[in-house]
Amino acid sequence: MSGAADRLAVVVLISGSGTNLQALIDAAADDGRFTVACVISNRADAGGLARAAAAGIPTRVVDHTRYADRAGFDSALGDAIDACGAQLIVLAGFMRILTDALVARFRGRMLNIHPSLLPAFQGLHTHRRALEAGVREHGASVHFVTAELDGGPVIAQARVPVLAGDDAATLAARVLAREHVLLPEVVRWYADGRLEMRDGRAWLDGAAIETPRQC
């Protein structure tokens, strides 16, 4: 196995329980293609911080309430990301809208997982909205982060059926289980040098992704 210095250094940004972070920690331990170098949260009470600590991963809290404005927070957040030596930044349930300046700073090096089949249901409360819309299929998407919220080029998706009797919680649980497979898979592609963003598009193995890969 290669040494830690040879592996892609991934920094994961969280705000909550961090089950996707856990999936990345487990994948990193299993196949060693990348390492979770640091976990950054905007909330000191995020459950994912304990997951990181249990795995011996350094953590940082950049508390958005301590900054006068979004620009100040994002500047501090960007500095924290750089201080971790991040090669790839993964937003895994990070519940802050980023400024254009921060997105530009890490352009092509930042992924987000969103709990819908983008471009459907950008923004919040995706599971409830999917049920209200009566869709038969729902899921999650991983995309490169651009200035447009949940609007960057989609790399891959996981699809689940919407079942009779579903409520937002049952549907969310079905999607989340698939997120835990989807997100590590896309990070592996990036770690293996197969994935990039160029000309505003996502490219895998040298070909522009026209239709998101299904995982």
C-beta closer to ligand GRF: residue 75 or 96: 96
C-beta closer to ligand GRF: residue 75 or 135: 135
Contact call for residue 179 and ligand GRF (CB under 6 A):
yes
C-beta closer to ligand GRF: residue 24 or 37: 24
Choose the catalytic residue: 64, 114, 125, 138. Answer: 114
C-beta closer to ligand GRF: residue 125 or 194: 125
Contacts 24+ apart (CB under 8 A), 51-59: 51/18, 51/21, 51/22, 51/25, 52/12, 52/18, 52/21, 52/25, 55/25, 55/29, 57/25, 58/84
**What minimum distance in Å lies between the beta carbon of 11 and ligand GRF?**
15
One residue of 17, 75, 122, 170 binding ligand GRF per CB under 6 A:
17
Contact call for residue 115 and ligand GRF (CB under 6 A):
yes
Collapsing DSSP to helix, strand or coil, 128 comes out as helix
Q: Is 114 a catalytic residue?
A: yes
**What minimum distance in Å lies between the beta carbon of 101 and ligand GRF?**
22
Contact call for residue 151 and ligand GRF (CB under 6 A):
no
* Residues in contact with 102: Cβ distance below 8 Å, sequence separation at least 6, in sequence order: 74, 75, 77, 78
* Residues in contact with 207: Cβ distance below 8 Å, sequence separation at least 6, in sequence order: none
* Residues in contact with 155: Cβ distance below 8 Å, sequence separation at least 6, in sequence order: 111, 141, 142, 143, 144, 186, 189, 195, 202, 204, 209, 212, 213
One residue of 140, 145, 155, 160 binding ligand GRF per CB under 6 A:
140
Where does this chain bind ligand GRF (CB under 6 A)? 14, 16-21, 48, 92-93, 113-115, 140, 176, 179
